[in-house]
Structure 1
Amino acid sequence: MPKTITDLHVKKIAQMIRNWPVEHALDWNAVCLGAQGILGWDNPPTRQALDKKIAIKISYKSKKEHLKLEKQKLVDMPRPRSTLDAMKKITRLQAENDELKAELTKMAEMANRLIYNATIAGLTRERLMAPLPTIREPQARRARTHK
């Protein structure tokens, strides 16, 4: 009985490729070995068998391009002059991150309070979540009033 790769297998293999960890090299051999577990086969499928499946091929090319761009970002990133400079930057960014988290928590509490009070006042959730009105440009208003 010939081994077939079903649509479900294709989706799972494509998902595996999309979730491929950045720290591991992505090549067809590794994909074939990963696909072997998904397919439940004794031997890994061939590169050609996987490459015939459009979703797998597109996922592979897309992930390869993404990994290439990520690697380029790391190369282009400015390096600190010393370990001390790097530690100072990390400390500063952690403090900034903590401040932003605290601010976000306060804003979430305020939003919850406003929603609660508005609900008590009789406003529905739909009314509260209605989009803001658009502001028309002054020229449009002038043109409309002169007609």
Structure 2
Amino acid sequence: MAKHLTDDDIEKIVDILDNWSVETKLTWDRLVDSVQHGLGIETTRQTLSKQKRIKDTFKAVKAIVSGNTKPVDKTLPSSLKIAAQRIEALERKVERLERENHELLEQFHVWLYNADRLKITIEQLNSPLPRKTH
């Protein structure tokens, strides 16, 4: 049975996508298998695709994997192949984080506009969250 994904689970799943090999076809089923084997999380395609961060990252990586036409250089030493794969994964992660940051900044501007329009003060916005009582 699929479980509810926590923020930590989502972060780990997005990390799996960031590190997905461009030489391996990306499908929702393969991602589900990778999540189950790599993280021990039993989930479904539907559960994964409901999460915006996972869905957006999946689309971006899928486009990269689908557009991968460069052949693997068989003459490179394995250490260089591994390094090249690591660099590519980090570049994808940077692109994803920049995209997410841009989206958060856009959301912040919407909130700022609405707060100003509704005369909400900075003190009100900065008030701490209520504490949970047990």
What TM-score, normalized to structure 1?
0.43
Q: Which of 1 and 2 has greater Rg?
A: 1
Greater relative contact order, per chain length (Cα 8 Å cut-off, separation 6+): 2
